[in-house]
Amino acid sequence: MRTRDDCLELDRRDGLAARRDAFVLAPGLIYLDGNSLGPLTRSTRERVVATLDDEWATGLVRSWNTAGWMAAPTRVGDRLAPLIGARPGEVLVADTLTILLAKLILGALDLRPERSVVLGDAANFHSDLYVAEAMARRAGRPISFRAIDRDTLDDELGEDVALVMLTHVDYRTGEMLDLAGVTARVHGAGALMLWDFAHSTGAVPLDVTAADVDFAAGCTYKYLNAGPGAPGFLYVRDRFQGVIENPLPGWLGHARPFDFERRYEPAAGVQAFVTSSPSVIAINALDGALDAFDGVTMDEIRAKSLALTDLFIELVEARLPGAFTLVTPREHVRRASQVSLRHEEAYGIIQALIARGVVGDFRAPDVCRFGFTPLYLGFVDVYDAVEHLVAVLERAEHRDAAYATRNPVT
Ligand SMILES: Cc1ncc(COP(=O)(O)O)c(C=O)c1O
């Protein structure tokens, strides 16, 4: 088992260690919840203050023209694109993830008019399942949505399947699916593929171009650190641009919004997926947050992420043998950037850790979830987090009566 000194040495040799200074994090806090809400970066704060003071307060309505507000969804989309392996013009920042999934599901269904089934993963995040089911009901023709066990996907891929929607990294277990392999199998069956990248973007290398992904959407408040309720992003592969229709057309997705024409004519490219006025302050917050990725490759982030999660698993198993069931895959190719541990008193354990300054989260019914973000976490943080976990269990702090009632957000 590695010692604290070993971890100090790993931190000394870590090329990403200095990145922590980009983040506003209280000294001593061990933040293992960037997979839920990433922390504030200094650049985000500066960018938001500049948007308020220099653009809104000073420029007022003129800033739509002079500060590039109108182009913000595609400008910041282009900036985000390399993180998922997309090309310029394929990514739009807008709305929120669930809304974007709804747009893409309905749009994609129109492209397979002879087919009548949407497949989703029964273990997916509930919002994805709600929206897929509801869009299937509103598709304008009979569509059935089937929530399946994703391991049986190949058996379910019949000739009636129009669209498959999967989340690339399982929010509960941290299991990562094979982006290119699954997409190829779905295409082989003549269906379209829509990926949810909520727990992937900024956490693991993605290459939608090489994987031949049709459509994807993600959020920016987790590993991209854009702030609570930050806008989502969507990816539409170039071959579908001008082909797939935005089912929620609005004036700013029009080719000439300021001609105020009665007839809708979609703008070229991914801009057609804009419905409403862009949330400029929030998009600029994302723009600032993306500075933290400048000059770093996703491969560097991935290498450190795997080293951190390997270390966490090793230490938990050495220090607390048998106490938890590891639900995250051990194989690197199937593991993203979080580790989930099952324990029947998981809620109390997470609360007791938070009281000690180690922030993870709880996912019902019995999962302790820990996210590892290489841009601001060090190896000693991992070591200390495990020592806190040992102390919580040894002293039964998780059984404190204060944790008998769950908070609304867990
Ligand atoms: C996998 C997944 N899909 C969808 C969502 C919902 O995102 P939003 O609230 O931006 O619609 C989340 C939120 O955490 C998520 O983890």
User: What residues does each domain of the chain span?
Assistant: 4-16+297-403, 46-293
Q: What is the pTM of this model?
A: 0.97
**Does residue 125 have its Cβ closer than 6 Å to ligand 1?**
yes
Write 263-266 long-range contacts (CB < 8 A, 24+): 266/242
Residue in 129, 131, 171, 173 to alter for ligand 1 test, most ligand atoms within 8 A of Cβ? 171
- With H, G, I as helix, E, B as strand and everything else as coil, classify residue 284: helix
pLDDT tens-place string over residues 67-95: 999 999 999 999 999 999 999 999 999 99
**Does residue 363 have its Cβ closer than 6 Å to ligand 1?**
no
pLDDT tens-place string over residues 19-29: 999 999 999 99
Ligand 1: residue whose CA is nearest its atom 8: 97
CA distance 179 to 87: 17
pLDDT band at 406 (very low <50, low <70, confident <90, very high): confident
**Does residue 232 have its Cβ closer than 6 Å to ligand 1?**
yes
pLDDT tens-place string over residues 146-159: 999 999 999 999 99
Using CA atoms of 209, 215, 219, 223 in order, give the dihedral in degrees to the nearest 10.
-20
Are 171 and 198 a contacting pair, CB within 8 Å? Answer: yes
**Does residue 198 have its Cβ closer than 6 Å to ligand 1?**
yes
The class of domain 46-293 in CATH terms is alpha beta
197 Cα: distance to centroid of ligand 1 (angstroms): 9
The class of domain 4-16+297-403 in CATH terms is alpha beta
Nearest atom of ligand 1 to the alpha carbon of 100:
11
**Does residue 96 have its Cβ closer than 6 Å to ligand 1?**
yes
CA distance 380 to 10: 8
Q: Give yes or no: 31 in active site.
A: no
Counting residues of the chain whose pLDDT is more than 70, the rounded percentage is 100
Q: Give yes or no: 233 in active site.
A: no
Nearest atom of ligand 1 to the alpha carbon of 98:
11
Q: Give yes or no: 196 in active site.
A: yes
Tokens read off for 241: 């641009």
Tokens read off for 233: 């992003």
